[in-house]
Every structure is written in C-alpha cells, then in structure tokens.
Amino acid sequence: MQLKNLINFTLRDLENEIIILGEPKYRAGQIFSSLHKKNARSFDVISAIPVSLKEKLKENFFIPELKLLEVSDSVKFNTKKFLFELSENKRKYVFESVLISENGRNTICISTQIGCNVGCEFCATGKMGFSKNLSAGEIVQQVYEIISNTGIIPTNLVFMGMGEPFLNYANLLDALKILTEPYGLGVSSKKITVSTVGFTEKISKFADDISSEENRNLRNVKLALSLHSTDNGLRESIIPTSVRNRLPDIYNELVYFYRKTGNKITYEYIFFNGLNDSENDIKRLVKLSRMVPSNINIIPFHPIDFKLNKPLDIFNKEKDLNKLLSNKNLFHFIEKLKENKVTVNLRSSSGVDINAACGQLAVKKTQS
C-alpha cells in the first residue's frame, strides 16, 4: 500500500481520512494543529492523540522532509533566500523561497512549481524550464521551514516565487486552505496575494472558489496580474501563454473577479525602458486603472544570467542595477501615471544582490 503525504490534506479532507481509520472526527483537528501550527515533523511528537492512533498514522501516511540546503543573506537589503531540496521517486529537486523584511512587514514569497512552464522571456525561472508541480504540502512547508529557521512569523504571504500558481491550481487552492485554517497557522486571507500571468477561465474560477461559503477563510485573498505590457503584440513576445490568453479576455475575467469578490486588483508591471513606457502605454494603463479598483506596481527590470531574445535583447548588455534604477525615464513614467490619479508604487529590488528579486529565482547557490 502506498503511503499518503499527511501534510497535503486540508482539515476537511483529513477529517474524512481519520473517520476511515475508525477514529473520532475531532482527532483530525489535533493532528492538523500539530502539523501546521507546531510544525511537527514526526508522528511521535504529535500531541494529544493516543499511541494507537499514532501507529495507524504510521501505517497509512508519511510526513515528508523538506531539506533546507542554504540560506543566502542580502548585504544590501533585509532579505533572505532559502534553497530547499526534496526527494521524489529517487530524484532530488531544488527550489527557492524568499523572506523580505521591510517597513514593519515580513513577507514570504512562496513557490508553487519547480521551474515554470510559462517561459516568460524576462524571468530566470521561466528560462529554467519546468520540472514539477509542488504538492500542497510542499508549498506550505516552505512557510513552516522559514519560520523554524528565522523565528519570524510572516505578516504577508505572496505566491510570486518560482512557477505559475494557476498551472498548479488544485494544489494552490489546498495550500491556501491549509495556511488560512484557524487550527493551523491561521493566516488572514487579507494578507495573501496570488500572482498570475493570466489564464482565461482560471481567474473567474478562482473568484468563484475563494468566494464560496465552503472556502470562507479565503474570501479576501488578493489577485495580482503580471501585466508588463498593455500591447498585445509586445506581451505575446515576452509571455508566450498570452497568445492564447489575450488581454481583452483577461480584462473581462478581472472585472468578474472584482464583482464576485470585491477585492482590488494589483497589476505588476516590469519597466522596460523604451519598450513599454510610451505615451500610449500610459494612456492604456490609466484607462485600465479605472476599469476596477486597482493599483499598479512598477518593477525595475532585474538582470538575469540568461541570454535575452528579441525584443528584450537590448538589455543583454546592461547588468548594472544602479543604472537601471537611476533611469530618469522610469521616474518620469511613474510621475505621468500619478498625474492621472493612478495608484502606483515603485517596487523595491530587495535581494537583487543574491538573485532573490523579482524574476531572478533560478536555484543558484551563493558563490563562496
């Protein structure tokens, strides 16, 4: 009989498993709390349950190990990058998560895949290719291991690490249920953001799922769209999946998401000097910002150790972050948006020196 990963189960699913074992339903809450609030790593330390139940658990389940290989500390920012290893079917995989501490917030940037199958031209993870989807347990264990290593309880969780969350949808949804469950870590859904490049039908499904009565703990989860261009042609050249998920259809889905959930939309917009900063880009962003309540995060383009193809090949020679950040066109672009009453923020480049900033995650160990 194949053992089941005990960390993967939501509380409701775990209750069903416990009933199948012939045990009272309330035992599931005790087990869930030990696993997800106290980070129990073996059956023997699960508290408040009898030895006989621990033996049943050992016969039917396993608690996986998520091995922490390395922690990289930024010398410029209060940011840490965590390199994890997991074993599956005699293979070893590595992936990364990030802890960003700034302005009184402690944000964990969580990965949902190892590599990514979207293949965005500007993203180091996309350049890696795709290895596997992370299970719900492997997603939430990133948070627990970071807490265990640092003693820091996160104020915010963002699903903006390696991978495209909506291409691992079922495991993403279960991970959200686990993380927001009061018997576990009990993270407020107001403090969680899920980022996607946008897939038709997936955004509306996400709206339906998080607003359902069954998932009431998820109702305030925020959505961020990795936009990066309001021009279909440019966007299709840098985000391959946008060929089949065109902006007009994505915009309709975002309107549905807002009307269904009442949650404001965030647009993530990497600034590519000379490519997506024209007057027409500004006009389209202004119009977009008035479609539903939203804000736009402007992100400096971060250098990656991969060759860039057209139209981003003009950035192959520029690896100096200071020059990228000091570009007067970047600040002019932001000011023009603000003049048009757009809520816009310049995202910091926290962790850029350890390849932990936006778009840089590519399982690179720190050089000794």
pLDDT in tens, the chain (368 residues): 799 999 999 999 999 999 999 999 999 999 999 999 999 999 999 989 999 999 999 999 999 989 999 999 988 888 999 999 998 888 999 999 999 998 889 999 999 999 999 999 888 888 888 999 999 999 999 999 999 999 999 999 999 999 999 999 999 999 999 999 999 999 999 999 999 999 999 999 999 999 999 999 999 999 999 999 999 999 999 999 999 999 999 999 999 999 999 999 999 999 998 899 999 999 999 999 999 999 999 998 877 777 888 888 877 765 555 555 557 889 999 999 999 999 999 987 665 555 544 654 555 544 33
Cβ atoms within 10 Å of 258's Cβ, excluding its own: 18
Cα separations (Å) of 13 from 18, 33, 56?
9, 14, 17
The pair of structure tokens assigned to 5 is 């990963």
Per the confidence metrics, is the pTM higher than 0.85? yes
Phi and psi at residue 73, in whole multiples of 5°?
Answer: -105, 130
The one-letter code for the residue type at 57 is L
Place of tokens 């290989």: 69
The pair of structure tokens assigned to 232 is 């279909």
The domains found in the chain, sorted by start residue, are: 4-62 (1.10.150.530), 67-354 (3.20.20.70)
39 burial (CB, 10 Å; 0-12 / 13-18 / 19+) is middle
Q: What is the DSSP letter of 134?
A: P
What integer pLDDT is reported at residue 143 of this predicted model? 97
What integer pLDDT is reported at residue 315 of this predicted model? 77
What integer pLDDT is reported at residue 75 of this predicted model? 82
State the pairing for strand pair 105-109/156-159: parallel
What integer pLDDT is reported at residue 338 of this predicted model? 97
Distance of CA 56 to the CA centre of its chain: 35
Place of tokens 């993530």: 268
Catalytic positions are: 96, 358
Cα separations (Å) of 115 from 142, 180, 216?
16, 26, 31
State the pairing for strand pair 222-226/113-115: unpaired
Place of tokens 């309107």: 255
Q: What is the DSSP letter of 121?
A: T
- 237 in Cβ contact with 272 (< 8 Å): no
